[in-house]
Chains A and B, each alone.
Chain A
Amino acid sequence: MGSEAIIVFFLAGVVLVAGANFLSNLISPKSDNPQKREPYESGMTTIGPTWVQFKVGYYLFAILFLIFDVEVAFLVPWAVVFGEMGSIALVEILIFLFILGLGLAYAWKKGALKWE
């Protein structure tokens, strides 16, 4: 594939997004008043800071996701050559999956997969 196409694609992307923003700034009607700057235009103002601390559960899910993400990265090349390598590849991947499967079982048992 010609690399010119990539450059054209890149430039088109930049021009389209920047152009759309610029145009909408240019032609949209503007109004500004104090009410508009409130976090909620109707209803109550918020109590306390609007940023809330996330639960630690999100983090746990993210880290588990990441670990299995890395695992998948190793599974892909295995899957490509599995046909030609046969049983030995199967044994190797079974060890790999068994170890990580135990990890998953541990996470399950400890309630890391449960949303509280």
Chain B
Amino acid sequence: MEKVIFYLLAIIMVASAIASVSSRRMLRSVVYLLFVLIGAAGLYFLMDYNFLAAIQLTVYAGGIVVLIIFSVLLIQHIEMELEIAKSSRRWFSALLCLMGLSIFLGTIYSHPFAVAETTSTTTVAEIGRALLSFEKGGFILPFEVISILLLAAMIGAITIAKGGKEIKQEVPESLDIDKILQDAKQQAEEKVMELESSTKN
């Protein structure tokens, strides 16, 4: 029965992944990507990695997809569709992908993996103990270094996004409603003037 669920998830993931890379609208690609990520969470649940699945849902499906959506919306010409590559190039890349896939699948399937005799669920408490342990098999150093990594990422992101004062003038204010209204008003007035002058003549 678990096999059925696995194949259901696999079909959803593969189909969405293909749709994601072949869709010509960026926003749709992101949404298809979301399905792939949720499917991955489903796989983790299936393998009893409950904590990992929860993280997958909160961080990837919750956080990263939102981030990607926002960065897509930052683009000026979002209605733009990606251009279609030449068919020779498409065939070439499809062939390349298939070759890569066959190499990977061939090697992975040919490897004699040992099947685990007993399966046990990794509990959150076990993860917590390993995370805080100093001994071999403990992850306290990576745990602390990751906080530095997050700090650096935060500073870097703010540095790029905020920039300095000189940059602010360069960012186009596209949500400036007053300006749009004023422009429209001016255009309308010009039209009226034109009409008036033409009727006089």
Tally A-B pairs: CB < 8 A: 144
Query: Chain A 80-116 against B: per-residue CB contact (8 Å), 1 yes, 0 no?
Result: 1110010011001001100110110011001110000
Nearest A residue to B62 via CB reads A69
Chain B proximity of A54: nearest CB distance (Å): 4
Residues on A with beta carbons closer than 8 Å to the beta carbon of B144: 92, 95-96, 99
What bracket does the count of chain A residues touching chain B fall in?
Answer: 35 or more
Interface of B: prevailing SS: helix
Q: Assuming A81-B129, A106-B154, is B161 touching A59 (CB within 8 A)?
A: yes
Residues of B near any A CB (own CB < 8 A): 1-2, 4-5, 8, 51, 55, 58-59, 62-64, 66-67, 70-71, 73-76, 78-79, 124-125, 127-129, 131-132, 140, 143-144, 146-148, 150-151, 153-155, 157-158, 161-162, 171-172, 174-175, 180, 183-184
17 sample A-B contacts, Cβ–Cβ < 8 Å, listed by A number: A3-B2, A47-B180, A54-B74, A56-B74, A58-B74, A59-B67, A59-B70, A62-B63, A71-B150, A74-B143, A78-B131, A96-B144, A100-B150, A100-B151, A103-B151, A106-B154, A111-B162
Residues of A near any B CB (own CB < 8 A): 2-4, 6-7, 10, 47-49, 51-56, 58-60, 62-67, 69-74, 76-82, 85, 88-89, 92, 95-96, 99-100, 102-103, 106-107, 110-112
